């Protein structure tokens, strides 16, 4: 019925169709090179709400509403929505989705959530359990800084390896039928922990997970980096991107120029002073739901391998001396 390629990868014989997608971003995202690809940009970091956390929920509401509108669908047309975010207890998602009345499977995959939600949403459709499903996530610079590091008004200094959490949300509406690019394979990641303890160097912590899932995907599907117009990790940034290249080079595999990281695309890193690049669930989600899928619709690329990574730490685990486990979920998207 389904073609299972080894333990982690499924080739979908009933690929799900990306019926629509929407990206919402904040001020920095609006000043970056991908600004024109967003459906909505706000200079107000509160998105009209009284707190940043409520603002993050507002972003998810906007992203979902916009994606539904673009597909001429209403919330009742979705059988499921799969979503999560970085906030403690995923409140960005719970409060963002509260009023929609859509059956909801809550996910926690940290910054891999866009990959995880696309993977599970596609499997639910491929299994015949849904006609249409939403996949969504978000992050917010100010909620993430307050929670993981320091409240923004304290003016905390950032290390050179630090990344900038995107204030952004992305939503995809998947369907069993219709027109649009298709999700054709799904690779589920394993937790990979190589002992990195520097919570200000997420790229280094997550790169081994990206390598692990990408290598598993290549092996299962008998493909390599050159078989994709683009291979994209989610938010490894400049350092993590290079580590993935190095890890594959040790296997004699050249990742080549088609391997990019969304964290290197969202901002003009030099001009916007973003240190190692962008991060957060919203980084890969908004780059996918804005730039990548729009350019794909224009015919620029035919086959993407989208593989966002997540760092499965918390401030508490770091305070207790733990290293940073990572995970990476990958999906192939074909025009």
- Contacts with a second copy by CB under 8 A lie at 1-2, 4, 7-8, 10, 50-51, 53-54, 79-80, 84, 86-91, 94-95, 97-98, 100-110, 116, 119-120, 123-124, 126-129, 188-191, 193, 310, 312-317, 320, 322, 325, 327
| Residue closer to a second copy, measured from CB, 195 or 256 | 195
| Residue closer to a second copy, measured from CB, 31 or 193 | 193
Residue 179 CB, shortest distance to a second copy, in Å, is 23
Residue 7, judged by CB atoms within 10 A of its CB (0-12, 13-18, 19+), counts as exposed
CB 172 within 8 A of CB 21: yes
| Residue closer to a second copy, measured from CB, 112 or 233 | 112
Residue 89 CB, shortest distance to a second copy, in Å, is 4
Residue 160 CB, shortest distance to a second copy, in Å, is 25
Classify each residue of 263-277 as buried b or exposed e, where b means 16 or more C-beta atoms within 10 Å of its C-beta: bbbbbebeebebbbb
Torsion of CA 330, 25, 95, 128, to 10 degrees: -30
CB 19 within 8 A of CB 178: yes
Euclidean distance between CA atoms 210 and 87, whole angstroms:
23
| Residue closer to a second copy, measured from CB, 3 or 302 | 3
End-to-end CA distance of the chain: 23
- Residue 72's region, left for phi above 0, alpha for psi from -120 to 50, else beta, is left
Classify each residue of 200-233 as buried b or exposed e, where b means 16 or more C-beta atoms within 10 Å of its C-beta: bbbbbbbbbbbbbbbebbbebbebbbeebebbbb
| Residue closer to a second copy, measured from CB, 35 or 73 | 73
What is the crossing angle of helices 237-250 and 202-221, to 10°? 40
Residue 325 CB, shortest distance to a second copy, in Å, is 5
Residue 280 CB, shortest distance to a second copy, in Å, is 13
Residue 267 CB, shortest distance to a second copy, in Å, is 25
Torsion of CA 205, 198, 264, 278, to 10 degrees: 110
Residue 220 CB, shortest distance to a second copy, in Å, is 12
Total residue length of the chain: 335
| Residue closer to a second copy, measured from CB, 11 or 35 | 11
| Residue closer to a second copy, measured from CB, 90 or 305 | 90
């Amino acid at each position: 019925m389904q073609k299972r390629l080894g333990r982690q990868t499924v080739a979908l014989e009933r690929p799900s169709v990306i019926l629509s997608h929407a990206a919402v971003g904040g001020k920095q995202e609006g000043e970056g090179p991908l600004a024109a690809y967003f459906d909505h940009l706000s200079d107000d970091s509160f998105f009209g709400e009284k707190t940043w956390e409520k603002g993050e929920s507002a972003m998810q509401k906007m992203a979902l509403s916009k994606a539904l509108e673009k597909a001429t669908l209403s919330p009742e047309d979705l059988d499921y929505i799969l979503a999560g975010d970085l906030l403690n207890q995923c409140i960005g998602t719970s409060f963002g989705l509260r009023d929609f009345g859509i059956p909801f499977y809550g996910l926690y995959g940290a910054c891999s959530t866009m990959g995880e939600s696309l993977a599970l949403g596609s499997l639910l459709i491929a299994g015949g359990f849904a006609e249409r499903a939403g996949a969504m996530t978000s992050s917010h610079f100010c909620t993430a800084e307050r929670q993981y590091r320091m409240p923004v008004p304290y003016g905390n200094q950032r290390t050179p390896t630090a990344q900038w959490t995107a204030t952004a949300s992305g939503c995809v509406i998947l369907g069993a039928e219709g027109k649009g690019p298709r999700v054709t394979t799904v690779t589920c990641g394993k937790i990979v922990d190589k002992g990195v303890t520097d919570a200000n160097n997420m790229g280094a912590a997550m790169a081994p997970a990206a390598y692990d899932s990408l290598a598993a995907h290549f092996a299962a599907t008998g493909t390599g980096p050159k078989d994709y117009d683009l291979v994209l990790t989610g938010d490894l940034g400049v350092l993590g991107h290079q580590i993935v290249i190095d890890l594959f080079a040790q296997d004699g595999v050249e990742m080549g120029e088609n391997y990019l990281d969304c964290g290197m695309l969202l901002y003009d890193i030099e001009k916007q002073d973003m240190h190692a690049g962008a991060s957060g669930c919203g980084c890969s989600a908004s780059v996918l739901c804005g730039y990548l899928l729009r350019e794909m619709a224009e015919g620029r690329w035919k086959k993407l391998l989208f593989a966002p990574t997540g760092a499965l730490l918390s401030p508490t685990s770091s305070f207790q001396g733990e290293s940073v486990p990572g995970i990476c979920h990958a999906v192939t998207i074909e025009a």
